[in-house]
Amino acid sequence: MSTPAIEIEGLTKDYPVGFWRQRMHRSLDHLTLQVQDGEVFGFLGPNGAGKTTTLKVLMSIIFPTSGSARVRGKSIDDVSMHREIGYLPEQPYFYDYLTARELLDYYARLFGFAASERRERIIRFLERVGLGGAADVQLRKFSKGMLQRVGIAQAILHDPQVIFLDEPMSGLDPVGRREVRDIIHDLKREGRTIFFSTHILSDAEMLCDRVGVLVGGKLQGVGAPREIVSMEVYAMEILFETPEGHPLPNSLAKSATQVGGRYRAEVPEDQLYPVLDELRRCEARILSVTPLRPTLEDYFFKLVARDKSAPPQLVEVGAR
Amino acid sequence: MSAVPGIVAVNTFREAVRDRVLYNLIVFALMMIGASVLVGEISIGISRLVIINLGLSAISIFGLVMAVFIGVGLVYKEMEKRTLYCLLAKPVRRWEFLIGKFGGLVLTLTVNTFFMALGLGAALYYVSREFLRSDAMIVIAIYFIVLELALVTALALFFSCFSSPMLSTLYTLGIYVAGFFSGDIREIGMVTHSPAMQTAARAISYLLPNFRNFNVIAAASHGDAIPFSLIWQNTAYAALYVALALIGASAIFSGRNLK
């Protein structure tokens, strides 16, 4: 079996909080995870779940309290590992006195590319992220979306095999989000491994082979989006219209909600036919009947709600 | 040998060159040198001495201001604006980044000092219409100023690795002032009758970089010869302290969790 692209073992990160009476806050709690080569892995979780902390540890921006991680078999402490990865931080910020071309040239130099290759790559990657026309504009004049794009360009400039993206869709308009999704699809087609954190569950469902849900620093579930949520139908959704002046059937009088000129109702699967019969009796026009299954969003919110009921993790100094 | 410090240094230089604050300081320093011409003209018989003295002092003081204020922000700005995140995700060791930042600022200060020295040379030529053989001492004095600025930059960088820019400025200026009077600290120890005080004063005076060693402005303005041995002694002395400060800074910064 080949080496996983990313191996995380028992990664834990504690931060001191408070001034006088310092305690440790556990931001990441024994995270163990593997991402296979060529996989698109979505790292989901609410704000403060530990997603960015995980990425910062993997990039050696901060150091773990305990645990270890390897990327393509190399320890994260090994600087040569950084030749094989690309990283887009959350809300990236760059040297605003540089132009996009100069910024990418600076980073490309760190990988030892010759001048002619740097020139070619810079043009190619700026065009790939839709900034071909802004190569010589100073970054101080860039919008948030443009900075996000230049951030993606610098993350993939050296053709890394593993790419870490922290909230790559944040700050982008729908067109920009679509373009980033297309870039991620292209990178996947090229066989790269992509590990990205996001709040946007629809993006995760669309892009990811597997997702991991992190809540309160703990990994609560990992799997393909269709695997981790139960595919069992929990209700049936009925959309219908009633003739003017006709009252709603008794069984739906309380539960149906009006949207525009239509009604929407959710009923248990075993009561679908009796309800449809009642609707027919009052001459309602049935517009659609759809089975409802839990979504990734439902699964996500269930985990978040469960975590909210748990007390915050504060550890006395020295108790570690 | 890694090329990373050089690449970071060039970018640091570019950042400084594109900063308007720097030009304001240079213009102000050149105005000071220009003003020394006026002062020199009303100082009958000693105009050259006044111009050299004031000119070199202006170069030293403005260089010091730049070294401290830019030096303390070198690493802090990269952390605060999170530009460091993308950089550390590249094959860059933290000590390479620090050496690069140091090198970039020293390069900037050297180029600035060069232009200010040109201004001083122009002022001197304007007044006396000639250069004397003894003016070579001015070049040595300027070289010592560059060594001093390199040392101050290394100290500023060292303090900025673990404290805020405000505190780093205070620490660096504090060490500069104390280092300027390190000889006096040793003297104070000698006049006390306590052996413990004498030992402590001696230890502190040896620990502090002796900035007075780099100040040969008076000799240069009088055209007095500066011994050749002082050139290599000061060079070695500055190199040692810079190396110690950078090793300390690298040790601290390499283990630091960034925000």
What does the pLDDT average to over B74-87? 92
Pick A89's closest partner by Cβ from B86, B93, B255. Answer: B86
Contacts made by residues B193-202, CB under 8 angstroms, sequence distance 24+: none
Structure tokens, A129:
């992220």
Burial of A88 (0-12, 13-18, 19+ CB in 10 A): buried
Pick A97's closest partner by Cβ from B15, B87, B255. Answer: B15
Separation CA A229–CA A81 (nearest Å): 35
Give the number of other CB atoms < 10 A from CB of residue A288: 10
What is the share, in percent, of chain B residues with pLDDT greater than 70?
A: 98
Separation CA A248–CA B67 (nearest Å): 80
pLDDT band at A308 (very low <50, low <70, confident <90, very high): low
When mean pLDDT is compared across A80-84, A87-91, A299-303, the lowest value belongs to A299-303
List of residues 6+ apart from B247 with CB closer than 8 A = none
**Which residues of A fall within a CB distance of 8 Å from B18?**
97
Pick A110's closest partner by Cβ from B4, B15, B19. Answer: B4
Structure tokens, B247:
């090793």
Q: What is the pLDDT of residue B106?
A: 96
Paired residues of A265 in beta bridges: A238
Select, from the ranges A167-171, A297-301, B156-160, the one with the highest average predicted confidence (pLDDT): B156-160
Structure tokens, B2:
């890694």
* Per-state percent for chain A, helix, strand, coil, to nearest 5: 35, 30, 35
The answer to whether the beta carbons of residues A293 and A234 sit under 8 Å apart is yes
List of residues 6+ apart from A232 with CB closer than 8 A = A293, A294
> Which helix (H) or strand (E) segment is B81 a member of?
none
What does the pLDDT average to over A145-168? 94
B85 contact A CB<8A: yes
Q: The tokens 């290759």 sit on which residue?
A: A117
What does the pLDDT average to over B87-116? 94
pLDDT tens-digit readout, A85-134? 999 999 888 998 899 999 999 999 999 999 999 999 999 999 999 898 99
pLDDT tens-digit readout, B204-236? 888 899 999 899 998 888 888 889 899 999 999
What is the share, in percent, of chain B residues with pLDDT greater than 90?
A: 55
Instruction: Tell which wins on pLDDT, B105 or B32.
Output: B105
Cross-chain residue pair B82–A89, CB shorter than 8 Å: yes
What does the pLDDT average to over A250-262? 83
A273 contact B CB<8A: no
Q: What is the pLDDT of residue B85?
A: 94
Q: What is the pLDDT of residue A216?
A: 86
A137 contact B CB<8A: no
Give the mean pLDDT of chain A. Answer: 87
Domains in chain A with CATH codes:
6-228 (3.40.50.300), 235-292 (3.30.70)
Cross-chain residue pair B92–A92, CB shorter than 8 Å: no
Sign of CA dihedral A267, A270, A271, A277: positive
The answer to whether the beta carbons of residues A29 and A313 sit under 8 Å apart is yes
When mean pLDDT is compared across A54-63, B184-193, B232-241, the lowest value belongs to B184-193
pLDDT band at A317 (very low <50, low <70, confident <90, very high): very low
Q: What is the pLDDT of residue A311?
A: 53
Q: What is the pLDDT of residue A315?
A: 47
Structure tokens, B113:
């000092």
Cross-chain residue pair B4–A61, CB shorter than 8 Å: no
Cross-chain residue pair A97–B92, CB shorter than 8 Å: no
**Which residues of A fall within a CB distance of 8 Å from B90?**
82, 107, 110-111
Give the number of other CB atoms < 10 A from CB of residue B206: 12
The distance of B40 to chain A (nearest Cα, Å) reads 41
Q: What is the pLDDT of residue A313?
A: 53
B73 contact A CB<8A: no
What does the pLDDT average to over A224-236? 76
Instruction: Tell which wins on pLDDT, A149 or A259.
Output: A149
Give the mean pLDDT of chain B. Answer: 89
Pick B257's closest partner by Cβ from A63, A86, A93. Answer: A63
Start-to-end Cα distance in chain B: 30
What does the pLDDT average to over A233-251? 84
Q: Is B82 left (phi over 0), alpha (psi -120 to 50) or beta?
A: left
pLDDT surpasses 80 at A320: no
Q: What is the pLDDT of residue A316?
A: 45
What is the share, in percent, of chain A residues with pLDDT greater than 70?
A: 94
Report the half-sphere exposure of A88 (CA within 13 A, side-chain side): 27
Q: What is the pLDDT of residue A173?
A: 82
**b/e burial code for range B165-189 (CB count within 10 A of at least 16 → b):** beebbebbbebbebbbbbeebbeeb
| Chain A residue nearest residue B15, CA to CA | A97
